Amino acid sequence: MDNLFNRKKHNFIYKTFLCTTAFLIMVTSLPVRADAETVDYAALAQERKALPIQSNDIANWPEGPEVSAESAIVMEAETGTILYAKNIHEELYPASTTKIMTCLLAVENASLNDNITFSHDAVFSVPNDGSSIGMDVGESITLEQALYGIMVGSANEVANAVAEHVSGSIDDFVTLMNDRAKELGCTNTHFANTNGLQNDNHYTSVYDLALISKEFFNNDLLCKVGNTPRYHFEPTSTQPDDFYLNNKHKLITGEIAYEGIVGGKTGYTDQARETLVTCAEKNGMKLVCVVFKEESPTQFTDTVTLFDYAFNNFHLVNVANEETRYMPDDSLFFESDHDVFGKSGTILKLDDSSVIVLPKTSQISEADYEVTYDLSDEERAKYPTGIAKVNYTYHDVGIGNAMICYSLSVSESSAETNTPTIRPFYINVKILFIVAAVFVIIMTIIGTSSSKTVRSRKGISKSDRVRYNRRKREFNKSSKKFKF
C-alpha cells in the first residue's frame, strides 16, 4: 500500500509538473499585447507638443508657448476672450473634470443644508478601483460636505448621490447636465454620467469646459470649495467615520507654488490621460486654463507656463476711461466743471464696469467696434438703463464688449425692485444765458414784423371810410324796401 501510495504521489507530482510546463510554454508563445505599460507616452507627448497653436496665427497677437497637451485653452473669465487656443474644439474625454458641472448644478438646484443619502445605485454603480470616499448605502452627509467630497476627494459615488438628490435619478441629472451645457454655449459636449468615468459617449472640448468653469468660478462658495487642499470629515449620527481628504491638484496644495490660484479640478482615465482645470487671478484679471490629454506632471507645469504667458502679455482695459471715438460729446451743453451747480452728468454714458482684453503692446484705438441695439434678456436685466452694446474685436478676435446706458442710477429706495431713477443733470448757466439772449432777439424781430402788419391793416384812408359808410346806409334802405 505504501508503494502504491508513493507511486500515485509521484505520478501526481509528475503530471502536475507536465501541466505546469505546458501551460507556461503556451503562455509564452502567445503574441505580446500592447497595453498601458508598453505604450511610449513620452513619445506621444512630444508629438502632441508639435501640434499647431491656432492663436499664434492672429496678427500682432503675443506668441503662445508650446505645451504637450492635445488641446489647451486660456480664457479670460470676465469677457470670455480666448487668449491661448490649441485645438480648443476637439472632442476629448474630460475624466473627473466633469465634476465641475456636477457641483455647479448642485448649488444651482439645491440647498447647502440638504441631506444627501446614499442609495445602492449611487454606491455600487461605480467600479471598485475608481475614486471614492467610502460612503455606505444608507449613510448621509450635507450637500456642502458632498461638494468637498466631489472636488477635493473626487468621489464618484458622491457625485451620483448628489445627482439623485437634485433630479431624482442619475439619468435625469445627466439630461440636466447636457441642457445646462447648451445654455452656456457648449457645442461639442455630451455627458453620459456625473463623474467622468470612461464612456465613449461622454466627451467635451477645452473650450466648452472653460465656459462651464467660468460659470463655476463666478460662484464664491464653489471657488472656496474648489481651492481646498485638505478637508476633514468628522463623524456624525448619519456618517460614522473620521477621515481626511487630500487634493491632488498641485497648484492648490502648494506643491507647485503659484500666486493667485482660485481653484481647480484634476482628472484621469487611461483613455483621457491627465486632464486639468485651473483658475487664477492677478491684477484684476481672472483666467481659466484647461488642458486635455497630458502626462503627469506636465499638466501642472504647462498650466503654469500658460498662466505666465497670459498674465505677462495681456491686460484689462476699462472702456469708459479709454474710449473716445463714438460717444456723443454732449458735455459742452450738459456738463461743466465751472457750473454754479457743480459738475453735472451727461445724457448717455459708457458703463463704468465694461472692460475688454488687449495685448499690453496695443491701444484701444487699434480695436474695431460695432454698435448693436439687440440686447438679450440677460443683458437688459443686468443693465436696466442700457440702450446699446458695443462689440469689440482685435484682428477679428472677440475681446469683450461695452454697454451704452442712459445716465440713470438705482436709488437705495428702489434698489430692491431694480427701478431706475433719473439722476438730475444741470445746464451750464453761461450757455443758457446765450441761448436766452438769442431767443429774445429772435422774438423781438418777430414782434416788430407783426406790429407793422397790424398797423398796415389799421392804416385805412379817410376817403375810404366815407365811401364805406355811404354804401352801408344805401344797403340798409334797400333792405327795408323789400321787407314783408
d(CA 384, CA 114): 35
d(CA 153, CA 187): 29
- For residue 184, what is its C-alpha cell? 452656456
373 φ/ψ sector (left φ>0, alpha ψ -120 to 50, else beta): alpha
Q: How many CA atoms lie within 13 A of 313 on its CB side?
A: 17
Work out the widest C-alpha separation in the chain, in whole angstroms: 180
Angle at 17 between CA 11 and CA 20, to 5 degrees: 140
Cβ 306 vs Cβ 210: under 8 Å: no
* 265 carries a ligand binding annotation: yes
Of 215, 225, 222, 197, which is closest to residue 94 (Cα–Cα)? 197
- For residue 254, what is its C-alpha cell? 502648494
- 3-state percent breakdown (helix, strand, coil) of the chain, nearest 5: 40, 20, 40
Cβ 161 vs Cβ 119: under 8 Å: yes
d(CA 291, CA 274): 8
Cβ 291 vs Cβ 299: under 8 Å: yes
d(CA 358, CA 368): 12
d(CA 264, CA 177): 19
Cis before 65 (ω within 30) = no
Q: Could you tell me which residues are beta bridge partners of residue 287?
A: 76, 280
Q: How many CA atoms lie within 13 A of 86 on its CB side?
A: 25
Residues labelled as active-site residues: 96, 99, 154
Element (H, E) at 388: strand 386-394
Cβ 398 vs Cβ 372: under 8 Å: no
- Please, which contacts does 328-333 make with residues 24 or more away whose CB atoms are closer than 8 Å? 332/428, 332/431, 333/427, 333/428, 333/431
d(CA 211, CA 205): 10
| Residues annotated in a binding site for substrate | 265
| Residues that constitute the known binding site | 265
